[in-house]
Amino acid sequence: MADIGLIGTKARKNGKVVEGVDIYMGGKVGKDAKLGSRTMKGIPCEDLKPVMRDLLIKHFDAQPLNVDVVSRDAHPGGRSRTRVDEPADYDNGNGKNGQAQTAVVAFAKSGKEITCSQAEFILDVAEREGLELDSDCRSGICGTCKQKLLAGKVTYDEDPEALTAGDRAQGMILTCSAHPVGRVEIDA
């Protein structure tokens, strides 16, 4: 039984495309192998540790250890980095105790309301539930995934290139790069 599966993909961090993974859960290995369903998409490898930690705590009753872990960047050619962020430092919507905070994304046009983690991107949440939103680069560069935020607040890991000050003033967000905070409503 494979409870968590990782598939390599491209992810975006600090405006750059980096090595990342999609996370699948509920799949099987061996005879009758199946992939399971995609739970999270485009997690940069260097951010994987706190995300996996949250999943293990949330879905497998893992108990967190309060240890300060120091490690070297495992990616040759990557940016120099000597400390692996503990979950409290991971700002993709995780709370101070390292557990992913719950959010709700409401899609006004389709009438769907989806509970998710604040660590997820709104576009991924929509796709997981079968909603097809326009997207292209999935990296905050092209602007294809722009949608209007009707209510609530979103955060970004960094300022996305494709979101201008004018867009922000009009309440536009980039769903490929925006994390929901609490309850948000999107005009889609």
Cβ contact 57:64 at 8 Å: yes
Residue range at the interface with ligand FES (CB under 6 A); choices 44-52, 64-72, 99-107, 138-146: 138-146
Is residue 179 a contact residue for ligand FES (CB under 6 A)? no
Three-state DSSP class for 183? strand
Strand partners, 173: 147
Q: Residue 45 or 174: which CB sits closer to ligand FES?
A: 174
Q: Which is nearer to ligand FES, 106 or 145 (CB)?
A: 145
Contact segment (CB under 6 A) with ligand FES among 40-48, 49-57, 114-122, 143-151 equals 143-151
Site for ligand FES (CB under 6 A): how many residues? 13
- Contact call for residue 2 and ligand FES (CB under 6 A): no
Closest CA to 161 of 171, 148, 146: 146
| Cβ proximity to ligand FES, 11 vs 84, nearer residue | 11
Any alpha helices (H) in 138-178, and if so which ranges?
A: 165-169
Number of helical H runs and strand E runs in the chain: 3, 8
What share of residues in the chain are helix, strand, coil (percent, to 5)? 15, 35, 50
Q: Is 41 in the site for ligand FES (CB under 6 A)?
A: no
CB-nearer residue toward ligand FES: 26 or 156 = 156
Binding mask 56-75 for ligand FES (x = CB under 6 A): --------------------
| Binding-site string for ligand FES from residue 85 to residue 124, where x marks contact by CB under 6 A and - marks none | ----------------------------------------
Output the CA torsion sign for 154, 160, 164, 165: positive
* 3-class secondary-structure state, position 33: coil
